[in-house]
Amino acid sequence: MSRKVTDKAVGNQPVRHSRIIIVGSGFSGLGLAIRLSQQGRDDYLVLERGHDVGGTWRDNTYPGAACDVPSQLYSYSFALNPEWSRSFSKQPEIQRYIQGVADKYNVRDKHVFDCDMTGARWNAETARWEIQSSQGAFTADILISAVGALCEPNLPDIKGINDFQGEIFHSARWDHDSDLSGKRVAVIGTGASAIQIVPAIASKVAHLDVYQRTAPWLLPRADRPYLGVEKLVFKHVPGVQALSRAAIYAARETQVVGLAKFPPAMKILETIARAKLAIEVRDPALRKKVTPNFRIGCKRMLISNEYYPAISRDNVDVVTDGIKEIRANSVVTADGVEREVDAIIVATGFHVTDSPAYETISGRDGRTLAELFDEIGQQGYKGSAIHNYPNMFFMLGPNVGLGHTSMVYMIESQINYIADAVATVDRLGLRTVEVRKDVQDEYNVELQRKLEGAVWNTGGCASWYLDKHGNNTTLWPDFTFRFRSLLEKFDASAYETTSDQPTAAAV
């Protein structure tokens, strides 16, 4: 059902109202928009701060950017792509795929681009969300956050970093006007972005210093171009591509046994990683530097066939001493060594458990998400709802992340749940829905119980998976098909509700 509304005005600027507002148009926000359109809904808008759809795949354009999930699995199940050029897709191809899906399902006209949400406040009297943005004010009966975890660059707090006189930029904000050829370059970080950037620039720069705080575990990247005949079969033989996708999914799910159920099983992957390290890094001193000191899987496992050869080059040094300060033209480490550089690439990841977006959303009692999470840690219900935030749903909320397979699978599970929630609200004539605190608490107790023995909690590392309370509020601790089953239908009985219709069925 749709409510008829009359826009108010603030000053000379009208307030736009929409029954549903989605914030963000990466894989999650775009996928939900498509589902709402397929339900026959026209009463929604997508506010996207960028100039186009794509989210992280629009923003991360650094050299070497690519996905570490196989192409066949890293796509919507309803929009398989027989034209993938290789088994692991690169950023430009993924972004073209997302753009093509937006065009195919004709949802661009439901977007407000270059629209950065700067605030959202729940108004209990009107039972609406009041939203401030760079494109003016909006109101919504239902607000859905589809702000991804990898969208707010994390800049390191290093003394003097703002005084550096050379070129400096974050990997997610790559300066394509910068020419690094023949320059002395520093890369800070050895995470997923850095291990792709380093091989892409190592042969072009005069010298490259890679500042490593923690050595990552690397596994082989089984990447290859698809043959023309394979693409033809995917395109013209029914079921083959879906079968390929299912086989990849099943193989990836086996990792859950070691990650979440029985960590000693990770020894198999660790043996593969150690063999790779021994073969590709021949220098004993360098090999010692880049050998991890924690169980594989505790931090994000990375895949690359090019990183170890790149750091073995004569013009590349791996620096393991912590950075003490950055000066006008150099980096100084804790041991007192000063290394002159012309450019610094900051590859230090993103704000995940402390996203600045949390500071902009105020719930029923006036507290922002940032204040709530600071007090109790990130807790939600099925990664899709949070107590104190009525009529609000979350894509990629707490404990939805993965360490082994495609996030698109989890996204589609949440799309099922939230789309059914919206339909249920309309069918029952509900004015407000808010997950019950006792239900949310019980859900999180069970989550943390499952996480107790997982490798992320027992593997001997510190990671962005854990919040300041020491809880893993990022990852799903079970098989993904169980998450899919859990979110198959909206469970209205888990929510406190109020009704527009006195005769509405009891919930």
pLDDT (0 to 100) of residue 154: 76
Q: How far is CA 370 from the centre of its chain?
A: 18
pLDDT tens, position by position, 72-96: 999 999 999 999 999 999 999 999 9
Range 305-316 average pLDDT:
98
Residues 298-305: what's their mean pLDDT? 94
> What was the pLDDT predicted at 503?
42
Three-state secondary structure call for residue 454: coil
Question: How would you label 376-407 residue by residue, b for 16+ Cβ within 10 Å and e otherwise?
Answer: ebbbbbbbbbbbbbbbbbbbbbbbbbbbbbbb
Sheet bearing 338-340, strands edge to edge? 323-327, 330-333, 338-340
Query: Is pTM beyond 0.85 here?
Result: yes
pLDDT digits over 122-142, tens only? 999 999 999 999 999 999 999
- Confidence check: pLDDT of 156 > 60: yes
| Confidence band, pLDDT 50/70/90 cuts, at residue 7 | very low
Tens digits of per-residue pLDDT, 18-63?
Answer: 999 999 999 999 999 999 999 999 999 999 999 999 999 999 999 9
Buried residues in 457-485 as b, exposed as e (16+ CB within 10 A): bebebebbbbbeeebbbbbbbbbbeebbe
Other Cβ atoms within 10 Å of 230 Cβ, number = 16
Q: Can 14-152+351-499 and 153-216+300-349 be said to share one CATH topology? A: yes
Share of the chain above pLDDT 70, in %: 95
Nearest to 203 by CA among 315, 90, 347, 308: 315
The mean pLDDT value of the chain amounts to 92
**234 - beta bridge partners?**
none
Closest alpha carbon to 46 in 26, 75, 64, 67: 26
**CATH value of 14-152+351-499 in 3.90.105.10, 3.40.190.10, 3.50.50.60, 3.40.225.10:** 3.50.50.60
Average pLDDT for 267-294: 97
Q: Domain residue spans in the chain?
A: 14-152+351-499, 153-216+300-349
pLDDT, residue 501, reads: 59
Q: Which CATH number fits domain 153-216+300-349: 3.40.50.300, 3.50.50.60, 3.40.50.1000, 3.90.850.10?
A: 3.50.50.60
- Residue 354, pLDDT above cutoff 70: no
What mean pLDDT is predicted for residues 143-165? Answer: 86
**Which pLDDT score, from 0 to 100, does residue 465 have?**
80
